[in-house]
Each structure stands twice: as structure tokens, then as C-alpha cells.
């Protein structure tokens, strides 16, 4: 366990379904992130939250909707997804400040398959 927990670990959904991915960090960090990892492609940054405020939306389609109710929890709400959205979705957290800000601690990911 890394201190960042993601649920569910695996999710299969149809294109008309609505589901949510959950991330919880137990590290006392103040920034949280969603990254997407597709086969044979680099990890892509999707969203950044700092102190519960969204500070970056990296041109992500609106069918992905993040929510950060507090500094320990992050959600990714999914609706009307496409098969090409099938990927591993990784949550990460970091501690703000010049030294440690960019050292991300990742969760194990939620493997999403869209049929």
C-alpha cells in the first residue's frame, strides 16, 4: 500500500452507464491528481486539485467530471464514455512546497473497460 487507495480496482461499464472512481489519500498531502495510462501511451495528466480547488483541466472531455470534497478524497465521475476511454486511471497526491511538491505518490489505479 502506498498511502493512496483507489476503488474499484476494476470496472466494466457500457457506454450509457454512469459510474464513479474513488481515491483516498492517508498522507496528509494537499494536492491530488488524476492521470490516465493507456496501452503504449505515456501517462497523461487529466486534472489537478490543490487545497480542494481545481487548478488544471488538461483538455479533458466533459464526460469525465472530477470532484474533490476535501483534501483526502478525489472522485472521477464517468458518464457516456467511449470504448477509447478504456485505460488505467491513476490517482496521485503530493505535498505542496518547493521541495516535495512534484514527488507524486500514486495509487494502484482503477482499470476501466468501456464496452
Binding region for another protein (CB under 8 A)? 2, 4, 31, 33, 40-45, 48, 50, 55-56, 90, 92, 94, 96-98, 101-109
**Residues 46, 60: contact at Cβ < 8 Å?**
yes
Question: Least distance to another protein from the beta carbon of 49, Å?
Answer: 9
Rounded CA gap, 55 and 83, in Å?
28
Our CB check for another protein shows the closer of 75 and 106 to be: 106
Contact in structure between 18 and 76 (CB atoms under 8 Å): no
- Residue 16 C-alpha cell reads as 450509457
**CB 104, min distance to another protein, A:** 5
Amino acid at each position: 500500500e502506498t498511502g493512496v487507495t483507489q476503488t474499484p480496482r476494476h470496472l466494466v461499464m457500457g457506454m450509457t452507464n454512469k459510474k464513479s472512481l474513488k481515491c483516498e489519500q492517508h498522507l496528509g498531502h494537499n494536492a491530488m491528481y488524476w492521470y490516465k495510462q493507456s496501452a503504449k501511451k505515456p501517462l497523461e495528466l487529466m486534472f489537478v486539485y490543490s487545497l480542494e480547488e481545481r487548478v488544471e483541466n488538461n483538455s479533458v472531455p466533459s464526460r469525465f467530471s472530477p470532484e474533490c470534497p476535501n483534501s483526502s478524497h478525489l472522485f472521477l465521475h464517468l458518464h457516456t464514455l467511449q470504448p477509447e476511454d478504456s485505460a488505467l486511471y491513476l490517482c496521485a497526491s503530493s505535498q505542496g512546497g518547493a521541495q516535495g511538491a512534484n514527488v507524486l505518490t500514486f495509487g494502484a489505479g482503477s482499470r476501466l473497460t468501456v464496452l
